[in-house]
């Protein structure tokens, strides 16, 4: 079996929470650790640290350009967001508005969302999945949705961490399969 190309080992992890003590970002950091254990090269993009004027498209910024570059060259993108008003955050939306329609073409995207209420679990299939698909991503079939009750001291419960581990491993297998050379 051929070795995966270097791009097949690159994963970008995007945090869409504006919170400094973010639960969804905590899940993203767990996802990064899982991917690193699996041998992936990871780039974590925390949108809360990027300049607002550039995210709104009012000016160019090297860090925002680098984040977009990391997204466009990744074989796997893990997108984490809190549910705000029944969908992803505005912070995540403005970043995706900067992408070209093919920025995530061929990239496997895994969605992670946290919310106060389980009633808003549909934010993944009705919000995040169409968002990432609009820029060409192949959406991993099983996302990770968690409520605030599944965190203790802002750390995920063991059951949630197990769900995350399974979803991240599956998404990586899919990304590797898609990015293997056919020869
Ligand atoms: C502005 C705002 C809007 C929110 N809207 C919702 C919502 O529509 N449904 C929901 O279940 N939780 C909602 N929440 C709660 C957050 O989704 C939840 O606490 C989440 O885990 C926070 O994630 P974070 O710690 O990564 O920022 C909202 C929180 C804020 C601050």
* Residue-by-residue pLDDT tens, the chain, 183 positions: 344 444 445 999 999 999 999 999 999 999 999 999 999 999 999 999 999 999 999 999 999 999 999 999 999 999 999 999 999 999 999 999 999 999 999 999 999 999 999 999 999 999 999 999 999 999 999 999 999 999 999 999 999 999 999 999 999 999 999 987 554
C-alpha 112 to ligand 1 mean position (Å): 13
Report helix, strand or coil for 31: helix
Q: Determine the atom of ligand 1 nearest the C-alpha atom of 114.
A: 21
Test site for ligand 1: of 15, 30, 115, most ligand atoms within 8 A of the Cβ: 115
pLDDT for position 167 = 98
- What is the reported pLDDT for 9? 57
DSSP secondary structure of 107-163? -EEEEEEEES-GGGTTHIIIIIHHHHHTTT-EE-S--EEEEGGGEETTEE-HHHHHH
To test the ligand 1 pocket, which listed residue (30, 48, 84) has its Cβ within 8 A of the most ligand atoms? 84
Q: Whose CA is nearest to atom 23 of ligand 1?
A: 82
pLDDT at residue 181 in the model:
54
Determine the CATH number of domain 6-179.
Answer: 3.40.50.360
Cα separation, 136 vs 43, in Å, equals 20
In the chain, where the domains are located: 6-179
What pLDDT does 2 receive?
Answer: 40
Report the nearest-CA residue for atom 22 of ligand 1: 82
Q: Residue 117: its pLDDT value, please?
A: 98
Mutate to test the pocket of ligand 1, among 82, 112, 119 (most ligand atoms within 8 A of CB): 82
Place of tokens 């895994």: 110
Ligand 1 contacts (CB < 6 A) are 17, 19, 22-25, 82-86, 114-117, 120, 148
Tokens of 31: 């996802």
Residues with Cβ within 8 Å of 157's Cβ and at least 6 positions away in sequence, in order, are 150, 151
First to last CA, the chain: 9
Residues 38/169, Cβ–Cβ less than 8 Å: yes
Spell 93-126 as b/e; 16+ CB within 10 A means b. bbbbebbeeebbeebbbbbbbbbeeeebbebbee
């Amino acid at each position: 079996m051929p070795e995966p190309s270097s791009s097949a080992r690159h994963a970008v992890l995007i945090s869409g929470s504006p919170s400094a003590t973010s639960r969804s970002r905590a899940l993203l950091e767990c996802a990064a650790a899982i991917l690193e254990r699996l041998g992936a090269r990871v780039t974590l993009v925390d949108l809360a640290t990027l300049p607002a004027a550039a995210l709104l498209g009012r000016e160019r910024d090297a860090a925002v350009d680098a984040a977009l570059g990391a997204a466009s060259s990744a074989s796997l993108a893990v997108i984490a967001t809190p549910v705000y008003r029944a969908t992803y955050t505005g912070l995540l939306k403005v970043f995706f508005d900067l992408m070209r329609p093919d920025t995530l073409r061929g990239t496997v995207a895994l969605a992670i969302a946290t919310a106060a209420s389980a009633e808003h679990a549909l934010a993944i299939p009705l919000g995040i999945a169409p968002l990432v698909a609009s820029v060409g991503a192949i959406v991993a079939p099983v996302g990770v949705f968690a409520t605030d009750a599944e965190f203790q001291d802002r750390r995920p419960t063991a059951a949630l961490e197990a769900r995350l581990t399974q979803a991240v491993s599956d998404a990586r297998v899919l990304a590797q399969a898609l990015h293997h050379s056919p020869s």
